[in-house]
Amino acid sequence: MRQWKIGILLFNEVEVLDFAGPFEVLSISTYPGTNLKPFDVKTVAQTKETVRARNGLQVVPDYSFTDDISFDILIIPGGYGAEEIEIYNDVVIGWIKDQMSKVSLMTSVCTGAFLLAKAGLLDGKSATTHWMDMDRLEKEFPKVTVKRGVKYVDAGSIITSGGISAGMNMSFYLIVKLLGKEVARTTAKRMEYDISF
């Protein structure tokens, strides 16, 4: 039974549910009839300093960029910190770009798509983001085909999702993609989360 290593990027002013939603969905999943977890979910940031998420929530990352750690799947959340701060942080953008050659799947939640786009990873691909930011994504990154009215877009090695709670929909989609509907349904039932597939 395989275990995928999942990294969730953190930064100041990250939207809380953007990272906490996928963390919850993926970290509580188990293989049918066992207590074995298919996903080892950790957080990573530029440094190990405490991150101040939106509205003051403080989180201490598990890893920093300098740690010897590799991930199978990387989740890039959004929020004010992504679209107005980290998009101008060359260290973060460079790290994301470098990770693309190392992970099996690169994903984003909400305006985390802007960080993927800034790294050039969405060029020639379809993607989505928070509905309030779709026009900006189209204008600033014309090589990206923005999809509206969807919770997530699977573009092969990159999956993007809409705003905030849509990251949870994407996380359930990931479970279906990797493990099947039974695991996804069991996880959703445990969380009392409504899913349809």
What the chain holds in terms of domains, given with CATH numbers, is 4-191 (3.40.50.880)
Q: For the whole prediction, is pTM greater than 0.95?
A: yes
Note down pLDDT in tens along the chain; length 197 residues.
Answer: 899 999 999 999 999 999 999 999 999 999 999 999 999 999 999 999 999 999 999 999 999 999 999 999 999 999 999 999 999 999 999 999 999 999 999 999 999 999 999 999 999 999 999 999 999 999 999 999 999 999 999 999 999 999 999 999 999 999 999 999 999 999 999 999 988 76
Strands (E), 115-171: 126-127, 145-146, 152-154, 158-161
Q: What is the pLDDT of residue 196?
A: 76
Please, which residues have CB within 8 angstroms of residue 41's CB and are 6 or more apart in sequence? 6, 8, 22, 23, 26, 27
What are the beta bridge partners of residue 52? 58
Phi and psi at 73, nearest 5°, equal: -135, 135
CA-to-CA distance for 174 and 107, rounded, in angstroms? 10
Using alpha carbons, list the distances in angstroms from residue 108 to 17, 79, 129, 171, 185.
Answer: 13, 11, 8, 10, 22
